[in-house]
């Protein structure tokens, strides 16, 4: 064992090869505490060249690698299965100056979303993806999982922000494509192939990212509606009438209660409702009047509260954004992240409680998510020993509604056994051919995404 | 030879296997008349199942395939090199009803852009990509080349419109992914891998396409500016001030003269200028006032004319859109389609004439293109026997400015020898590994994209 570790120490320096169990521990369990595994060692390379050398050393020794960014993933893709070298990319943390003419920036994979946002905003621009884990989630991890979040409605998912990549293949080859041309049809789009491949094809080390205009004027409406159908009616009106719409989120009464109890928040409305929608508009000028006008003309609105000042925005958003933490504080949830066509959303929401209860009547289901994309985060608490059964039953229900078993979190280890519910046998076979072509020895993230 | 043809006749029917030279001829030469080659036969399958059967028959016989849509490609990717079975997809021409809730539609690969546009508009929506070859260019070909065009500024290239695909691999396997979920992170994005792969990895047979809002109110400004730098200043002002900006195109005095002579158009301005910019805005309400206001405050504007009625829009657009036909009428051009970072655009435009003249002083260079993306279409007339030398000199100049040798037309046969100017050896090697994984026998479009 020590021979490889000695090689790794020679590459990254002794301080950045962590063999001791206490030092490895923070890397070996994910944020949800659901996934844990033992790494042979943790290696923290500081440059792309060091990543490539680490990969070559592991390849020569025949030791598999698991890649980790901010360790905020939700499907166990960054946690070892057992015995891998865990490559942590957080020391890859350089940001280049913002290119204002192209509205792009090149950053290292280990840069956090929050730092990227701060960097872009200092140049009068912004980053198109935002999500609650921003203080820890890294650019590399967000590319590997094709992260989504609350601004997909306006700017698309992470892959839409990526104009180019630098990545290390399983044989140590470095692919570099960071010019960030607006249009470039010279062969296969390796950038888009690697985005969402969950570290199974290459290790992303740098990215050329598109930036978006900084829209300082925001208005948020928290709207009480009768049910999911009413929420979709409200969404249709908002999309039709609000050119500046930037987010449309949904949550339900049981989630609201959990959040209020956890975050000590007052009831947003005098009367409880069947569902709640958060709409956000962002523009160069205050969009509040347009929001109020739309709300006044929508039959779906039972009650609504609108804010456009910083404190008010944060307060209204907190009802939605505190869901993840409130759920985590209540226990270790079975987390599912699904997407169905909008026409199937209401039926899915209606059928979910019965599907869960049929497996384990005492489980608690908390549903919230990104309304515009039909993307629901399903959190099942108190599943006890029935986590796999609940997962199986729910994902089959989703597939029956023509949905995806992973909308934005990825497949990882958690969903790999159910991949065939969302991809055909022919697609999975084609994916395996690509995996084998780029990583014939199966060195990178074995067991992640493609079922072993 | 006849054994394979008999098999093909049994699959698609005798009327759809064209062996006679006169019948094959329209398929064997491209629209520019620059690329021509002899096919063994032309096969016109009518369903995805027939495409798969044709591919299996060719694979069994070891006969390569060249795939063709509307034959409007500009890099010879749809024209045989010699001896292939040419698979024409124009009989795949079904359109499904528009899904208004999801703003998506599923259509066959052989449907023309114009028909798709008509179909979408009848449902109150529109398609995000538009280009001058709309009456012949097909959806499948546009996906294979990741077509661009005049609305990329607003909606992105063709790949951004594709929510899912059906495609036939080189072994006859059919990949089907047409649900069109807004977010779906379940493994490698085969759709994005196939988009832009120029028929070398699979034959696209159907597509699930995103639609965009139909924006009926348009305003177009034709603006005279001093030079490329002034055009970029105008663009920056337009992007900053015009939220509804949907196109920004550039052309130059020699192109204008050619177009005026060909299309019998009057001079747009009393005085000639160094460069001309077409700006288009599209919205739900008339954007004319915003356009006039922006023009009034931009120092870059020498003169401008604005239209918002149908006839006026067509008239102003014709100065830009007639370029391709006017050039084609003047001869067989050497067509190059390049992209550079915006900061390099002015230098490139300045250096191009000298680079061309150094090869052949009598050639005529006509430059126009998509300003927002730094994408120039370079048409060199009267290159005589120096077409390859001109191509080589110009593409090397583009690469020196960190540009792409193919911005939206693709690589095809025309640019394959220069691929290494835009992609590293490591990238090309990775692309070859993917090609070999999905098409080990090299059956699909041999000689296209990847140098033989």
Judge: B189–A159 Cβ closer than 8 Å, yes or no: yes
Reported confidence tier of residue A452, pLDDT bands at 50, 70, 90: confident
What are the tens digits of pLDDT across the range B104-137?
A: 999 999 999 999 999 999 999 999 999 989 999 9
CA atoms within 13 A on the CB side of B391: 21
Our CA-based measurement puts residue B373 at a distance from the nearest CA of chain A, in whole angstroms, of 5
Percent of chain B as helix, strand, coil, to the nearest 5: 40, 20, 40
Q: Beta-carbon neighbour count of residue B21 at 10 Å?
A: 10
Residues of B in contact with A424 (CB under 8 A): 175-177
Judge: B374–A182 Cβ closer than 8 Å, yes or no: yes
CATH of A2-88, one of 3.40.1280.10, 3.40.50.450, 3.90.580.10, 3.30.43.10: 3.30.43.10
The minimal CB distance from B426 to the residues A174, A342, A436 is found for A174
With CA atoms as reference, report the closest residue to A314 among A241, A370, A263, A271: A263
Judge: A185–B375 Cβ closer than 8 Å, yes or no: no
What are the tens digits of pLDDT across the range A410-431?
A: 999 999 999 999 999 999 999 9
In the predicted model, is pLDDT for residue B1 greater than 60? no
CATH no. for B104-213:
3.30.465.10
Judge: A175–B415 Cβ closer than 8 Å, yes or no: no
With CA atoms as reference, report the closest residue to B360 among B327, B383, B328, B339: B383
User: What local confidence, expressed as pLDDT, does residue B284 receive?
Assistant: 87
With CA atoms as reference, report the closest residue to A328 among A74, A32, A26, A29: A32
Residues of B in contact with A215 (CB under 8 A): none
CA atoms within 13 A on the CB side of A348: 30
User: What local confidence, expressed as pLDDT, does residue B452 receive?
Assistant: 79
Residues of A in contact with B436 (CB under 8 A): 437
Judge: A343–B402 Cβ closer than 8 Å, yes or no: no
Judge: A188–B201 Cβ closer than 8 Å, yes or no: yes
What are the tens digits of pLDDT across the range A230-289?
A: 999 999 999 989 989 999 999 999 999 999 999 999 999 999 999 999 999 999 899 999
In degrees to the nearest 10, what's the CA dihedral of B404, B406, B408, B413? -160
Reported confidence tier of residue A1, pLDDT bands at 50, 70, 90: low
In DSSP terms, B167 is beta-bridged to B175, B204
Helix (H) or strand (E) holding B375: strand B375-381
* Residue of chain B whose alpha carbon sits nearest to that of A439: B433
Tell me whether 0.90 is exceeded by the ipTM. Answer: yes
Question: What are the Cα distances from residue A442, in Å, to A1, A89, B201?
Answer: 20, 20, 23
B258 in Cβ contact with B326 (< 8 Å)? yes
With CA atoms as reference, report the closest residue to A277 among A305, A241, A297, A257: A305
Fold agreement between A104-213 and A331-428: no
- Report d(CA A191, CA A201) in Å as an integer: 11
Judge: A102–B436 Cβ closer than 8 Å, yes or no: no
In the predicted model, is pLDDT for residue B414 greater than 70? yes
Which residue's structure tokens are 């008239």? B315
User: What local confidence, expressed as pLDDT, does residue A305 receive?
Assistant: 98
In DSSP terms, A219 is beta-bridged to A281
Substitution target in B101, B168, B185 with the highest count of A β-carbons within 10 Å is B185
Q: What are phi and psi of A165, to 5 degrees?
A: -140, 155
CATH no. for A331-428:
3.30.70.2740
CATH topology of domain B217-324: Alpha-Beta Plaits (3.30.70)
Percentage of residues in chain A having pLDDT higher than 70: 100
User: What local confidence, expressed as pLDDT, does residue B2 receive?
Assistant: 76
B108 Cβ contact list (under 8 Å, min separation 6): B89, B92, B93, B94, B95, B139, B140, B205, B206
In the predicted model, is pLDDT for residue B448 greater than 80? yes
Angle between helices B323-330 and B310-321 (to 10 degrees): 40
User: What local confidence, expressed as pLDDT, does residue B373 receive?
Assistant: 96
Substitution target in A186, A237, A377, A402 with the highest count of B β-carbons within 10 Å is A186
With CA atoms as reference, report the closest residue to A328 among A262, A276, A260, A277: A262
Helix (H) or strand (E) holding A398: helix A387-400
A109 in Cβ contact with A440 (< 8 Å)? no
SS3 A358: helix
Q: What are phi and psi of A325, to 5 degrees?
A: -70, -40
CA B251 to chain CA centroid, nearest Å: 18
How is residue B175 written in tokens?
A: 């990949």
B426 Cβ contact list (under 8 Å, min separation 6): A169, A173, A174, A175, A176
- Mean pLDDT over A64-76 rounds to 95
The minimal CB distance from A430 to the residues B190, B195, B408 is found for B190
How is residue B372 written in tokens?
A: 């927002």
Q: Are strands A85-88 and A41-43 parallel, antiparallel or unpaired?
A: parallel
User: How big is chain A, counted in residues?
Assistant: 452
User: What local confidence, expressed as pLDDT, does residue A158 receive?
Assistant: 98
The minimal CB distance from A185 to the residues B193, B407, B428 is found for B407
Q: Does B214 touch chain A (CB under 8 A)?
A: no
In the predicted model, is pLDDT for residue A32 greater than 80? no
Angle value at C-alpha B33, between B141 and B70, nearest 5 degrees: 20
Domain layout of chain A by residue ranges: 2-88, 104-213, 217-324, 331-428
Q: Are strands A303-307 and A245-251 parallel, antiparallel or unpaired?
A: unpaired
A242 Cβ contact list (under 8 Å, min separation 6): A279, A281, A287, A290, A291, A294
- Mean pLDDT over B364-373 rounds to 97
């Amino acid at each position: 064992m020590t021979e490889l570790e000695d090689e790794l120490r020679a590459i990254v320096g002794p301080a950045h090869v962590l063999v001791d169990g206490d030092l490895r521990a923070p890397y070996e369990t994910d944020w949800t505490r659901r996934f844990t595994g033992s790494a042979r060692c943790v290696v923290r390379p500081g440059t792309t060249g060091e990543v490539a050398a680490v990969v070559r050393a592991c390849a020569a020794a025949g030791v598999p690698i698991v890649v980790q960014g901010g360790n905020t993933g939700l499907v166990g893709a960054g946690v070892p299965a057992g015995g891998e070298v865990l490559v942590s990319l957080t020391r890859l943390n350089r940001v280049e100056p913002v290119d204002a003419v192209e509205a792009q920036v090149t950053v290292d994979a280990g840069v956090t979303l929050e730092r990227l946002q701060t960097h872009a905003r200092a140049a009068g621009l912004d980053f198109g993806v935002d999500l609650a884990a921003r203080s820890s989630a890294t650019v590399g991890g967000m590319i590997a999982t094709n992260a989504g979040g609350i601004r997909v409605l306006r700017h698309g998912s992470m892959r839409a922000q990526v104009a180019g990549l630098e990545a290390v293949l399983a044989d140590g080859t470095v692919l570099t494509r960071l010019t960030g041309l607006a249009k470039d049809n010279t062969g296969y789009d390796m950038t888009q192939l690697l985005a969402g491949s969950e570290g199974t094809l290459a290790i992303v080390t740098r990215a050329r990212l598109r930036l978006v205009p900084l829209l300082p004027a925001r208005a948020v409406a928290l709207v009480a509606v009768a049910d999911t159908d009413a929420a979709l009616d409200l969404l249709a009106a908002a999309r039709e009438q609000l050119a500046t719409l930037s987010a449309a989120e949904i949550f339900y009464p049981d989630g609201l209660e959990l959040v209020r109890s956890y975050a000590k928040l007052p009831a947003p409305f005098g009367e409880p409702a069947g569902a709640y929608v958060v709409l956000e508009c962002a523009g160069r000028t205050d969009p509040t009047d347009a929001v109020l006008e739309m709300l006044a003309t929508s039959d779906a609105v039972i009650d609504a509260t609108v804010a456009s000042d910083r404190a008010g925005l944060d307060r209204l958003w907190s009802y939605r954004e505190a869901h993840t933490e409130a759920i985590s504080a209540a226990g270790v949830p079975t987390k599912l992240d699904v997407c169905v066509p909008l026409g199937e959303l209401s039926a899915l929401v209606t059928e979910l409680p019965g599907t869960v209860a049929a497996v384990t009547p005492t489980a608690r289901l908390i549903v919230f998510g990104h309304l515009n994309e039909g993307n629901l985060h399903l959190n099942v608490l108190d599943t006890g020993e029935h986590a796999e059964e609940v997962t199986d039953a729910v994902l089959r229900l989703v597939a029956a509604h023509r949905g995806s078993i992973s909308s934005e979190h990825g497949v990882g280890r958690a969903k790999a056994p159910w991949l065939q519910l969302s991809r055909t046998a022919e697609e999975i076979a084609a994916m395996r051919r690509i995996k084998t072509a780029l990583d014939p020895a199966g060195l990178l993230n074995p067991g992640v995404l493609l079922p072993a």
